Amino acid sequence: MSNSDLTSILFVLLLLVALAQLLGYLFVKLRQPKVVGEIMAGVLLGPALLGRLPLASRFMETSQHQANVFNFVYWLGLLLLMFLSGAETRELFTRDERREVAWLSIVGSGAPFLLALLLGPWLVRPSLAGPNGNRLSLIIILAVGVAVTSVPVVSKIFADLKILHTRFARLVLGVAVLEDIVLWLALAVATALAGKNQLNSRQITVHLISTIGFFGLGLTIVPRIVKRINKSRFNVLAKHAPVAYAIGVLLAYCVVAGALDVSVVFAAFLAGFAVVHKKRKLFAEALDAIGKVSFAFFIPAYFAIVGLKLDLVRGFSWRMVAAFLIGSCVVKILSVSLAGRCAGFRGLDLMNLAITTNARGGPGIVLASVAFDAGIISPTFYTTLVLAAVLTSQMAGAWLDYVLRRGWPLLTPDPGTDPVSVHVESPTAA
């Protein structure tokens, strides 16, 4: 890589991160989610706005080598975000919360998914299809787009509002992680169907078994093994370089997941879930150090690059955006409210859970990107899915910020529950 290429990369990264931090700060002052401001930084510098100007487009032009660097920064930011989210939600599936997570996942996400599958034949139109899109693949993408909840964006909103430690965050992230299993499986099915008349059932079955097996082991057996390794007196790296050790665990998980053809996003979350060792101060300090660097640079860069990849010029339809956004939000919120009632929640609890799990965020954008790259959906439907992901995330963050500023509890405490775990102070800044 030449000196001019490196200078160009550093300049663009400087612009992205600086603008992401600035807009994030402004959005917080406006009582909006910081993550939306970070995404807007990329949109502002992208082809939809400033990128259309000749001078700006010349600065933002990238070669293949430069594009590879940005993709690496993008994925590293995403993996670090998931790693830190897993570390913060070590007690994700506690025995007392499995019932609630099950209801919210099966009814709250399953109902919108199945409803969209059933109504899909009457909802899909030729305007939604790309060059390789067929009726079944379009219906699957539509169903996932209605049902999905974003782990990365919701995690970032929780981190910005300083509520990652709460029972509310554990419930929502538990539901979102389970939903994402369906997302990746459905994406695999939809892309396999793209432009084909027959489905490779063996390939889909192997992918499903690998994903569920990796996830199950990552929540049960593997954390215990990692904990033993953490405490081993032969583990010199964990004692003398805990930051390097924690990152090594993250990379090891991702390598194993990649070898098994499992999403590395899951692997990063499970790595954070496994590496936490509450009784050892070194690991807490190591995760704190990783978090400071990640939230200062890599994670804002990730969300800014998400915005940078958006091209709102290629296709836009207010009618399609309004129809999908209103319809999907109504279905999702009603389904989660029903699931919440079945799980024993009432009143404000239902509203908090429904609006938060309605955030599509990162997975919604990934869904749109993968489907568009596979030729399944049209540019207009791509833009619709991306805008729905951003707007629902903004809605969730703004609502949670409002609830916290009013001093309302995120969840009504159960009898005998420490109210601190469900009621947090209003955030000053994030």
297 falls within a domain: yes
Q: What is the CA radius of gyration of the chain?
A: 21
Split at pLDDT 50, 70, 90, the class of 178 is confident
Q: Is 60 among the domain residues? A: no
pLDDT of residue 224 exceeding 50, the answer is yes
Q: Assess if residue 30 is contained within a domain.
A: no
What's the pLDDT score for residue 430?
Answer: 38
pLDDT recorded at residue 278: 58
Average pLDDT over residues 346-364: 85
Give the per-residue pLDDT at 103: 83
CB 300 within 8 A of CB 97: no
* pLDDT band for position 418 (cuts 50, 70, 90): very low
The domain tally of the chain equals 1
pLDDT at 326: 94
pLDDT value at 393 more than 80: yes
Q: Could you tell me which residues come within 8 angstroms of residue 193 by beta carbon, excluding any fewer than 6 positions away?
A: 134, 136, 137, 140, 199
pLDDT at 323: 92
CATH number, domain containing residue 84: 1.20.1530.20
The pLDDT value recorded for residue 234 is 82
Residues 374, 194 contacting (CB under 8 angstroms): yes
Which tokens hold the place of 133? 């899109």
Q: Which residue has better confidence, 100 or 119?
A: 119
Q: Is the pLDDT of residue 427 over 50?
A: no
Residue 423 has pLDDT above 90, yes or no: no
Q: Which of 73, 19, 72 is nearest to 50 (CA)?
A: 19
Q: How confident is the model at residue 416 (pLDDT cuts 50, 70, 90)?
A: very low
pLDDT at 422 over 50: no
Of how many residues is the chain composed? 430
Could you please report the per-residue DSSP string of 169-181?
HHHHHHHHHHHHH
Q: Is 80 exposed, middle or buried (0-12, 13-18, 19+ CB in 10 A)?
A: buried
Q: Angle between the 318-343 and 348-357 helix axes, to the nearest 10 degrees?
A: 140
Query: Residues with Cβ < 8 Å from 284, sequence gap 6 or more?
Result: 278
At residue 256, the pLDDT reads 92
Residue 23 lies in a domain: no
183-188, Cβ contacts within 8 angstroms, sequence gap of 24 or more: 183/144, 183/148, 183/363, 183/367, 184/211, 184/263, 184/266, 185/211, 186/140, 186/141, 186/143, 186/144, 187/144, 187/367, 187/370, 187/371
User: What gap in Å lies between CA 150 and CA 22, rounded to an integer?
Assistant: 24
Which of the 8 DSSP states describes residue 377?
Answer: B
Looking at per-residue pLDDT, the higher value among 181 and 35 belongs to 35
Structure-block tokens of residue 144: 């996932």
Q: How far apart are CA 180 and CA 185, in angstroms?
A: 8
For 283-341, the pLDDT digits (tens) are: 778 888 999 999 899 989 988 887 777 666 666 788 898 999 999 999 999 999 999 99
Residue 132: partners with Cβ closer than 8 Å, 6 or more residues away: 194, 195, 374, 375, 376
Q: How far apart are CA 256 and CA 237, in angstroms?
A: 20
Res 97: pLDDT = 66
Residues 233-252: pLDDT tens digits?
788 887 888 889 899 999 99
In this prediction, residue 181 carries a pLDDT of: 65
Mean pLDDT of the chain: 79
Model confidence band, residue 9 (pLDDT cutoffs 50, 70, 90): confident
- DSSP 3-state of 410: coil
Does residue 173 form part of some domain?
Answer: yes
Residue 278 lies in a domain: yes
Q: Rounded to whole angstroms, how far apart are CA atoms 183 and 160?
A: 25
Asked if residue 343 belongs to a domain, the reply is: yes
Stretch 133-162: mean pLDDT, rounded? 82
Domain that holds residue 238: 80-421
Query: Which residues, 6 or more positions from 171, have their beta carbon under 8 angstroms from its beta carbon?
Result: 97, 100, 101, 104, 353, 411
Tell whether 46 is covered by a domain.
no
Per-residue pLDDT tens over the stretch 19-65: 999 998 998 788 777 877 888 888 888 766 665 555 555 555 655 66
Does the pLDDT value for residue 428 go beyond 50?
Answer: no
The type of residue at 413 is P
Q: What is the pTM of this model?
A: 0.74
Most confident of 1-10, 27-36, 45-54, 75-84: 75-84
Residue 149 has a pLDDT of 75
